[in-house]
Structure 1
Amino acid sequence: VAIDEALHDVRNKSLLPVPIHLKDSHYKGASQLGHGEGYQYAHAGEEGWVDQDYLGVEKEYYRPVERGYEATIRKRLDVFKQRRKKTGTDEDTRS
């Protein structure tokens, strides 16, 4: 289960650094550190989606199953994966 995997990583100090484009850019000196550079506002993208990495590493916690509403979510995630293939960032492990 996703939460168990995430908790395991936290407990074992397998913590991930925050990608630079997601770091706070609203303070003096942030731009000198590169904070916020390359950030894309998802709501401005097609259907509220942009091809942007939010985790920084190849790691996947959530893997929806083929039943109930998760089947609908899985189909939507598959659409995003297809879009990534078209943009040349075919990484199936983003979440």
Structure 2
Amino acid sequence: MEHVVIPEMKLAFITSNEHHTYQYDYKRSINLNRYIDKIALTSFRTRLRLNKKLYSKLLDNAIESIKESKDFHDILELIYIKSMDFKKVDKFVEDFYLSIR
């Protein structure tokens, strides 16, 4: 879990890292890293480093897969777009929506 937002308390715990930096106007910021028990963390350092590398690799792979999917979508769209009757699709969606309402 990277973020926790509690609107009722006007409170949020936000993660900011190299994958998504948090830039927002806030009243107060507390760096929770200073509360980490460095001695206890030492025994997990190797595992944490490996997990960070794996997380980055998986995220990169996911982004690449999304890009490839978009490329395939664009190619398919070139094939069918000329034959598409969007008015009929809109009508179908509207009729379907009304039937399940």
Name the TM-score, length of structure 1 as normaliser: 0.24
Higher relative contact order (CA 8 A, sep 6+): 1
Which structure dedicates a bigger proportion of its chain to strand?
A: 2
Which structure dedicates a bigger proportion of its chain to helix?
A: 2
Which protein shows a greater Rg? 2
Name the TM-score, length of structure 2 as normaliser: 0.22
